[in-house]
């Protein structure tokens, strides 16, 4: 399984991680203590909302444990899941820097722990810590690159079957455990939420998963999934 701090982006895994370890790596103790002085640690239950699309930015959240789904509303009023955030990511960064409203909604999909830093405190911290400011600029560049990669990756997928295969490969890379049987992972989303992520209906997702199972490309056991034939799944993804 990949490290939660691995920032490599591949064609099959268009998401990326903007991790706190990268933000603070090898910085003086005084810089770290200054951050500790402005953050507040909170625990959130499953289904808690950290911030809402269109809301004025209150600050940033450094995700310490758990996963968060990031969603936006389509022009048709549907909810689209953009990606999942994992431990180490800094959420709400671009809105906090620009002062523009959050362009996504962040909701926990399991119990989470996160550090929160108020916008005024975070901006003052960046002004006082130039090296951290440069690293934040790098992170914003990563956000743009990840968005471009995701558009390019899913843009190449002409069918829901291809998009689903790419998503499963992405999850396998990010959160799967490789064994002799294949890649084991726990599906982090329901069939309905997967549908919101790939632009399909819940019925389509259930049917496609069933077809992959019948073709012995994957195995399903509740929320557990085993990628038995990665090469076949890559072919389904158009690779």
φ, ψ at 233 (rounded to 5°): -70, -35
6: confidence class by pLDDT, cuts 50, 70, 90:
very low
Tens digit of pLDDT for each residue in 91-116? 999 999 999 999 999 999 999 999 99
Two tokens, residue 119: 């916008």
User: Reduced to 3 states, what is the DSSP secondary structure of residue 117?
Assistant: strand
Half-sphere exposure of 130 (CA within 13 A, CB side): 0
40: confidence class by pLDDT, cuts 50, 70, 90:
very high
Q: What is this structure's pTM?
A: 0.76
The position carrying tokens 């671009």 is 94
Two tokens, residue 117: 């830093």
Q: Which of 17-21, 25-29, 201-205 shows the highest mean pLDDT?
A: 201-205
CB 220 within 8 A of CB 172: no
CB 61 within 8 A of CB 42: no
């Amino acid at each position: 399984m990949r490290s939660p701090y691995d920032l490599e982006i591949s064609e099959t895994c268009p998401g990326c991680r903007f991790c706190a370890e990268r933000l603070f790596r090898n910085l003086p103790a005084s810089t770290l203590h200054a951050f500790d002085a402005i953050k507040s640690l909170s625990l959130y239950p499953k289904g808690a909302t950290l911030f809402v699309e269109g809301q004025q930015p209150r600050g940033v959240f450094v995700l310490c444990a758990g996963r968060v789904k990031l969603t936006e509303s389509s022009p048709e009023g549907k909810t689209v899941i953009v990606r999942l955030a994992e431990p180490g990511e800094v959420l709400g960064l671009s809105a906090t820097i620009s002062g523009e409203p959050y362009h996504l909604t962040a909701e926990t999909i399991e119990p989470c722990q996160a550090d929160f830093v108020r916008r005024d405190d975070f901006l003052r911290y960046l002004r006082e810590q130039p090296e951290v400011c440069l690293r934040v600029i790098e992170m914003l560049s990563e956000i743009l690159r990840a968005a471009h990669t995701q558009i390019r990756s899913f843009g190449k997928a002409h069918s829901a079957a291809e998009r689903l295969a790419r998503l499963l490969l992405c999850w396998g890379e990010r959160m799967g455990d490789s064994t002799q049987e294949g890649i084991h992972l726990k599906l982090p989303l329901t069939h309905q939420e997967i549908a919101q992520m790939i632009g399909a209906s819940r019925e389509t997702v259930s049917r496609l998963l069933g077809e992959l199972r019948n073709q012995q490309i994957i195995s399903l056991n509740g929320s557990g999934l085993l990628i038995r034939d990665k090469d076949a799944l890559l072919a389904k993804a158009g690779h």
